[in-house]
């Protein structure tokens, strides 16, 4: 039987509902009979092909562009790992723009409980928190289009400045504050300490000291996670300088959190990167599976007259699939975002060994139509 794990969306509090009107949510309604989208069997075949080429077990963690790595991902990954069982090598097929700073370390320790060797496969982007997750791998497989990013966190705080009373506080990072102060000091110089003191006083009048403390705390937490992730596969003493160099590079070495780090730069900074040849069977298999997921990033399926749903996150294995779906409702030309629901089912095989797809028509519709 299909299983639904329902809980309030992490995009808002349990009792609130967020009203938006993004045009893409109403432009990409799926025709149930469409043959343009990958089938469940195509997903499964791609996962199995990667497992065969890598002699490993594969679990995917794929997020739509506007979805983030969140707390409930941990439980769903655990459910998948229990199905797989302990294996020699586990490959995480990873695509994510990031998420909560605290999540990657718990995922690293959880995954390592189920394997002797942990590897991360990056077909496209694994930014921010996803980079933290990749840092905990014995091997990072990247290709021509693969990307990591800096891990310096950006944090919001109720005491940070607002553009207006109607707007939420603007997020900031330690680097934002540091570069601001350095810019003022550099422009004013040492000739006018009184002017420098006045400008800094005005600046810190706008940014509450408690907010600065919270931002600094997030920054130190990020560095701690970087170090602990690397120490899962590097020796804390013998590789101390290499670990410190990587932590420093990804925390302070770039002037933008959106800086895109390719495979060569990642390897040069000391990460254990293997570059997959773009013409290799492995890279083509990774690209194919990535394209399967991308095909559903902007798909919205109709539930009822004014109710819709779209997938946000996928956590799949060759035995089981799990998808986080976001429910929405249209009213008066606006889209109201409701609860998010985890949909989960086993892959089913026919007696002759041919894969039948998913367990029920309900889940097939919810997960991939």
Where along the chain do its domains lie?
3-149+260-364
Distance separating alpha carbons of residues 49 and 53, to the nearest angstrom: 6
3-state secondary structure of 328: strand
- Residue 82 has a CB neighbour count (10 Å cut-off) of 10
- For 282-292, letters b (16+ CB in 10 Å) and e give bbbbbbbbbeb
- pLDDT of 248: 94
> Could you read off the pLDDT of 281-299 as tens digits, one per residue?
999 999 999 999 999 998 8
347 and 368 Cβ atoms separated by less than 8 Å: no
Helix axes 361-368, 40-54, angle to 10 degrees: 70
Q: Fold for domain 3-149+260-364?
A: 2-enoyl-CoA Hydratase; Chain A, domain 1 (3.90.226)
- pLDDT of 363: 33
Distance separating alpha carbons of residues 87 and 51, to the nearest angstrom: 12
> Could you read off the pLDDT of 13-51 as tens digits, one per residue?
222 233 333 333 333 444 334 558 898 899 999 999 999
Token couple for 41: 């069997």
Low-confidence ranges of the chain (pLDDT < 50): 1-33, 349-369
């Amino acid at each position: 039987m299909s299983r639904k794990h329902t809980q309030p969306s992490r995009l808002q509090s349990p009792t609130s509902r967020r009203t938006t009107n993004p045009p893409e949510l109403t432009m990409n309604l799926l025709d149930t009979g469409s043959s343009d989208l990958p089938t469940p069997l195509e997903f499964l075949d791609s996962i199995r092909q990667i497992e065969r080429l890598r002699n490993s077990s594969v679990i995917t963690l794929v997020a739509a562009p506007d979805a983030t790595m969140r707390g409930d991902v941990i439980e769903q990954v655990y459910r998948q790992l229990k199905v797989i069982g302990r294996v020699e090598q586990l490959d995480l097929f990873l695509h994510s723009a990031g998420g909560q700073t605290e999540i990657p370390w718990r995922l690293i320790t959880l995954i390592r409980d189920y394997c002797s060797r942990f590897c991360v496969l990056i077909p496209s982007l694994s930014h921010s928190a996803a980079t933290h997750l990749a840092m905990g791998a014995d091997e990072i497989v990247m290709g021509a289009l693969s990307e990591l990013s800096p891990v310096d966190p950006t944090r919001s705080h109720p005491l940070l400045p607002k553009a207006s009373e109607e707007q939420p506080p603007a997020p900031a990072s330690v680097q934002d504050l540091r570069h601001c102060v350095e810019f003022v000091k550099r422009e004013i110089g040492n000739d006018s300490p009184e002017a420098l003191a006045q400008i800094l006083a005005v600046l810190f009048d706008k940014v509450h000291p408690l907010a600065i403390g919270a931002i600094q705390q997030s920054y130190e937490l990020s560095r701690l996670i970087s170090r602990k992730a690397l120490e899962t596969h590097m020796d804390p003493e013998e590789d101390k300088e290499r670990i410190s160099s990587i932590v420093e590079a990804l925390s302070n070495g770039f002037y933008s959190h959106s800086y895109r780090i390719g495979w060569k730069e990642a390897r040069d900074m000391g990460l254990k990167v293997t570059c997959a040849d773009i013409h290799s069977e492995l890279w083509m298999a990774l690209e194919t599976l990535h394209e399967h997921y991308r095909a559903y990033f902007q798909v919205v399926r109709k539930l009822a007259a004014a109710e819709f749903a779209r997938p946000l996150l996928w956590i799949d294995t060759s035995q089981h699939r799990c998808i986080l779906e976001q429910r929405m409702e249209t009213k008066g030309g606006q889209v109201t975002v409701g609860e998010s629901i985890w949909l989960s089912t086993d892959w089913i095989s026919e007696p002759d060994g041919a894969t039948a797809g998913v367990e029920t028509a309900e889940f097939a519709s919810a997960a991939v139509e």
